[in-house]
Amino acid sequence: MSGPHTAWTERTVVRDGVRLVARDHGGAGRPVLFLHGLAGYGGEWDATVAGMCGRYRVVTLDQRGHGASERRPPGGDMSRSAYVADVIEVITALGLDDVALVGQSLGGNTAMLVAAARPDLVRALVMVEAGARGMVTREVDRIGAWLDSWPVPFGSLDAAAEFFGGGPAGAGWAAGLERRAGGWWPRFDAGLMVRSLAGLVRPSFWSEWRRVACPALVVLGESGIIPLDEQREMTSARPGTAMVTVPGAGHDVHLDAPEALRAVLTGFLERHL
């Protein structure tokens, strides 16, 4: 199979009855596993990973409840622990030991928790627009209201891209939709997306952040969502953490500026893989 930027082979891993689907872009180098954010899918990394397979084995995962993976996991389990266990299973099943984990937003939190729990598996960590603070209920409610506001089905991908704000990020969000009866629909259940955020409603993840033993990079968008005081606290809580801001990018750095993000990633990975 192929996307607009790179060829890939579909890999399926099943954990506790949950089907997890990954895009294996190949490559003979050390493994790099990419984790998307809430309501995303693995294909949104295509433009970022283009050209990386000459140096690394690149895999992008559709996490539970998202994309081509299990739409409605048994019992509706969208807990942080389930996401973490899924990633550990994928790493093991696909032979990605000593992996570099790259995660954006919710995927960045998952990547951090995996690195903290299994330092034997993770060689390097990259968190894109993800921090170590938790969320409060009103933030979850706001995101839930936004998901409910989607005028589905969209009549066209162009209409969807416009709804999502246009530009590369809008097109990237639209590309994650699927065509079904009546138009273009999200490949997730909005209620389960809100449930995914429930595990983030806590004061912080500072203890997990401090347990990360591998080299770590935090990538921020110039107009992203991680406050300056949280950025400072992340570097002070874990000295040696690298932090880079991508000009002109928002929260979806990988969609707004994939080439710039790729350059940042490869520079970091060359030093630590």
**Amino acid at residue number 201:** V
Between CA 75 and CA 126 the distance in angstroms is: 31
77 neighbors 249 (Cβ within 8 angstroms): no
Q: What average pLDDT does range 230-240 have in this prediction?
A: 97
The alpha-helical segments, DSSP class H, found in 183-250 are 190-198, 206-211, 228-237
Q: What average pLDDT does range 39-68 have in this prediction?
A: 97
* Sheet strands (E) in the chain: 9-15, 18-26, 30-35, 56-62, 99-104, 122-128, 178-180, 183-185, 216-221, 242-246
pLDDT for 9-22, tens place per residue?
999 999 999 999 99
The number of C-alpha atoms within 13 Å of 172 and in the hemisphere containing its C-beta is: 24
Between CA 93 and CA 119 the distance in angstroms is: 17
pLDDT for 56-82, tens place per residue?
999 999 999 999 999 999 999 999 999
What is the band of 6 on the pLDDT scale with cuts at 50, 70, 90?
low
User: What are 152's strand-pairing partners?
Assistant: none
Question: What order of strands is seen across the sheet that includes strand 30-35?
Answer: 9-15, 18-26, 56-62, 30-35, 99-104, 122-128, 216-221, 242-246
pLDDT recorded at residue 28 = 87
pLDDT for 98-118, tens place per residue?
999 999 999 999 999 999 999
The pLDDT of residue 5 is above 60: no
Q: What average pLDDT does range 47-63 have in this prediction?
A: 96
Domains of the chain listed by start with CATH number: 9-135+203-272 (3.40.50.1820)
The overall pTM is greater than 0.95: yes
Task: Give the whole-number percent of the chain exceeding pLDDT 70.
Answer: 98
User: What are 61's strand-pairing partners?
Assistant: 22, 35
237 neighbors 210 (Cβ within 8 angstroms): yes
The pLDDT of residue 3 is above 80: no
